[in-house]
Amino acid sequence: MSSSSIGQRYVFTSFGESHGRCIGAVVDGCPAGLELEEKDIQKMLDLRKPGQSVITTQRKEEDKVEILSGVFRGYTTGAPITMVIWNQDQRSRDYENLTLRPRPGHSDYPAYVKYNGFNDHRGGGRFSGRLTATFVMAGAIAKKLLSQTIQVDTYSYTCQVGKIKMSGQAASKMKSSIYSNEVRCPDPKIAEKMRATILAAKRSGDSVGGIIESITTNLPVGLGEPIFGSLESDLSKALFSIPAVKGVEFGSGFYGSTLHGSENNDEFITKNGKIVTRTNNAGGILGGISTGMPLVLRVAFKPASSIAKKQHTVDVKTKKPVSLIVQGRHDPCVVPRAPPVVDSLVSVVLVDHALRAGFIRPVIR
């Protein structure tokens, strides 16, 4: 597992397995002088933790974070910040019969081959969505750092579950309503329809996917390092690290490919003495560099792979066909728990680029 770190100046390393003793994060490069307590991180962790409603997994994890290093007298010291969460509610017996029977849709088979069977397969091990809690640990710090230094704000919400969609235009006006319901959709009427879709899939032993939209405001112009370190490149790399993510688009995205240039181009105008664009089909990025307009991206999640329906696979030793029903407690839709995870990885990438570009200094004064 040699690719567990991301970032150049704000370096985040994730560690642990789904059913191991703990999961955790190390953040190296956070400036000294940021006021930080465990409750700052816990607030975001509580938004993604399991067992909060009937539409999520019933695995009961407190997800209580402990800061082991890098914070002294309530402020970051500039040293690496190490954080852990101790796993408490593993049911590893649910995975005993899956060692040689890879679950459809999961990483079981390629992981078994790559690591010659030595990987921890329980609950998906290193490939589990459980590890997204480590993303939130690092992201909570990044999000606070961005807010307090350059007043950047990121918020993400569910804009689609299955075929149920909401209109994104009103989302900024309903930002305070994102966490007012289980689905994390700021439109309460659409949220109820999404909830019904998830529960219908759950009753039938199935799952459903969806889309998270993320908006970041007040970004300075100039974040991003073309060519291979462009803002879009680094954000995409981070977001594709979330299990179940199968698509990322910016601005008009795939829809933009159906338009003419005259329709998709964002014309520059002056507003209140500031150069902006009349529209934002670019999603706040041109040439891999932030334009100062809101950063708008969407993340597509596939239906959760662990379902209660009977499925077919093969025994990796005998290569003979077998059937299985996946045991355990699983999300019928992972999307409602994903907004804080998307917020976190977007923030981790943005703060790294802000440090690299000099918008945030090594010491907060």
Provide the pLDDT for residue 91: 58
Query: Residue 1: pLDDT above 50?
Result: no
Q: For residue 14, list its beta bridge partners.
A: 25
Residues 108/98, Cβ–Cβ less than 8 Å: yes
What pLDDT, on a 0 to 100 scale, did the predictor assign at position 121?
A: 80
Confidence of residue 118 (pLDDT cuts 50, 70, 90): confident
- 262-277 pLDDT, tens digit per residue, is 999 999 999 999 999 9
Instruction: Give the residue from 307, 344, 353, 261 showing the smallest Cα distance to 83.
Output: 344
pLDDT at 37: 97
Question: Is 244 exposed, middle or buried, given 0-12, 13-18 or 19+ CB atoms closer than 10 A?
Answer: buried
Q: Is the pLDDT of residue 95 over 70?
A: no
| pLDDT at position 126 | 84
DSSP 223: -
Question: What is the model's pLDDT at position 208?
Answer: 97
**Average pLDDT over every residue of 291-298:** 98
| pLDDT tens string 162-216 | 999 998 655 556 788 899 999 999 999 999 999 999 999 999 999 999 999 999 9
Q: Given this model, what pLDDT does residue 349 score? A: 98
pLDDT tens for residues 37-89?
999 999 999 999 866 667 766 556 689 999 999 999 999 999 999 999 999 86
Q: Which of 11-15, 96-100, 173-177 has the highest mean pLDDT?
A: 11-15
Q: Which residues contact 245 (CB under 8 A, 6 or more apart)?
A: 239, 299, 300, 301, 302
Q: Which residue has the higher pLDDT, 286 or 323?
A: 286
Domain regions of the chain by residue span: 5-356
pLDDT of 227 higher than 70? yes
Domain 5-356 grouped into CATH 3.40.47.10:
no
Cβ neighbours of residue 188 closer than 8 Å, sequence gap 6 or more: 177, 180, 181
Give the residue ranges of DSSP H helices in the chain.
38-48, 108-114, 132-150, 188-203, 231-239, 253-256, 261-264, 339-356
- Check pLDDT > 80 for residue 150: yes
What was the pLDDT predicted at 156? 96
pLDDT at 35: 97
Looking at residue 331, what is its pLDDT? Answer: 86
**Alpha carbon 80 to its chain's center:** 22
Positive or negative, the CA dihedral 330, 334, 339, 341 is positive
How far does the chain reach from its first CA to its final CA, in angstroms? 38
Neighbours of 141 (CB within 10 A): 30
